[in-house]
Amino acid sequence: MQTADSAVGVEAYAYAGDFEIDLDAPGEHSGEAMDLLLDDLAGAPVERPYEWLDALALALEHGVDAVLRRVAHPDPRIGRIAAHVLAYASLDVAALAALLPRLLACFDRVEDETVRAALLVVISRAAGTSATAGDPAGRVLREWLAASDRPGLRLAAALALERRGAYDEAVADALVSGVIEGGGAVLEPLAWVEWCSVEWFVAYAFEERAGWFGRRFAPSPERKRTRVAHILRLISEAPTQLAVGIAGGMLYDRPRSQPLAAALGRLLSHPEPALRSAALFSLARHYPPPEVVRDDLARAQSDPVIGWKASVTLGRMNDARALPALLKALPERRQEVYIALRRMSAHAEVLMPAVQARLAAPADELETYALTQVLHEWEHPEEVPEHGWWLHY
């Protein structure tokens, strides 16, 4: 059996610990912290290996005991990276169980909130697969889900539990409330992969995929329902461009995605332009766009940022409210105008004079071809291609 005072290896992929995936280098700020830790462990300046995996292994050569003592180091940078290293220590279940009392004692003793958040991830490795309140580690994590005045620790506990396979309402609630209340600021200083973030892990919660701990969960209807409900709540209460894009990808399941579509429609009037644009793109990538957002699109036509795109999307729904914008843009010969007009055969009588006027004096052969194609497809709507996500507008 392994012991905590022996040198151990690095579990490179079985446990993709502390907010990392496949041991990608987590950035310069973490590299500096690792330098400090290695120097402190060796008692002298040490040259950090170039590969992050080798740096973790070098730290663990000093033994888990030595690394664990550094978690409570006065310099929080060393404490944070020490907890990160422990998340990768290759320890069996028995060794983790034996180490748990010391991890909990360290957690209670440390004052730095970010170090404590990282320790919750380490503690979760000692929890059972479902991380219920029935085992000691699971009980600690569950207690922190209800920490009303510690959103960072609540968020860390929720992320750790989710990566153990938990998908109950308490975990989902802690993820969203932790983000809303600013818990991400506590986790941000940890050793993230450069292309990931707190936002990334929260948005991809409850997927059936490998995550922090390298586990791929078996598909289950319950977990899928939890994921849809989680994304719905996230874009409704704490929207991000990433979560909005994920919601858009879920719209292919039409019968179950109406609440998501409605929430995306409401985001078309969000005060942040980037979120309005992301919501519109998520809706426009589908044909036909969800019926539930028709009125939201009509209202968005006056928006200085997304108004034109909203008009084109509304036109693709064969809605008369898009006619003024499309007629005004017809002389500009923009591809998206023709794409929208193809769907508006019900309004051919209104559009025909403008189309014929352009055909009488076309700018070039391309315009003639595009408008002729529109007229043909008004007569043969079954031939209209179902353009969707690739639209460049």
Q: Mean pLDDT of all residues in the chain?
A: 85
| Cβ burial 295-329 (10 Å sphere, 16+ → b, else e) | ebbbebbebeebebbbbbbbbbbbbebbbebbbeb
Greatest Cα-to-Cα distance within the chain, rounded to the nearest angstrom: 87
Task: Extract the tokens encoding 139.
Answer: 């009980």
Q: What is the CA radius of gyration of the chain?
A: 27
pLDDT at 155: 94
Whether residue 360 is predicted with pLDDT greater than 70 in this model: the reply is yes
Instruction: For residue 199, give both structure tokens.
Output: 């936002």
State pLDDT tens for residues 84-93: 888 888 887 7
pLDDT grade, residue 170 (50/70/90)?
Answer: very high
Instruction: Report the candidate in 334, 310, 333 with the shortest Cα–Cα distance to residue 321.
Output: 310
pLDDT of residue 196 exceeding 60, the answer is: yes
Taking alpha carbons only, the member of 277, 263, 204 closest to residue 19 is 204
**To which residue do tokens 């941000």 refer?**
188
Strand partners, 10: 89
pLDDT at 223: 83
Give the pLDDT of residue 3: 54
Asked if 88 contacts 74 with a C-beta cutoff of 8 angstroms, the reply is no
Write down the pLDDT at residue 19. 40
Please give the pLDDT value at position 133.
Answer: 58
Structure tokens at 301: 């036509």
What confidence category does residue 193 fall into, taking pLDDT thresholds of 50, 70 and 90? low
Interval 124-150: pLDDT, tens: 888 765 556 568 888 899 999 988 899
Nearest C-alpha neighbor of 217 from the set 339, 302, 322, 131 = 131
Tokens of 97: 């169980």
The three state secondary structure string of 215-278 is CCCCCCHHHHHHHHHHHHHHHHHCCCHHHHHHHHHHHHCHHHCHHHHHHHHHHCCCCCHHHHHH
Domains of the chain: 28-193 (1.25.40), 239-383 (1.25.10.10)
What pLDDT shows up at residue 214?
47
Residues 205/154/186/233 CA torsion (nearest 10 deg): 40
pTM higher than 0.75 for the full model? yes
pLDDT at 157: 94
Separation of alpha carbons 369 and 374, rounded Å: 9
Question: CA-to-CA distance for 123 and 357, rounded, in angstroms?
Answer: 72
Model pLDDT, residue 289: 87
Cβ count near 42 (within 10 Å): 13
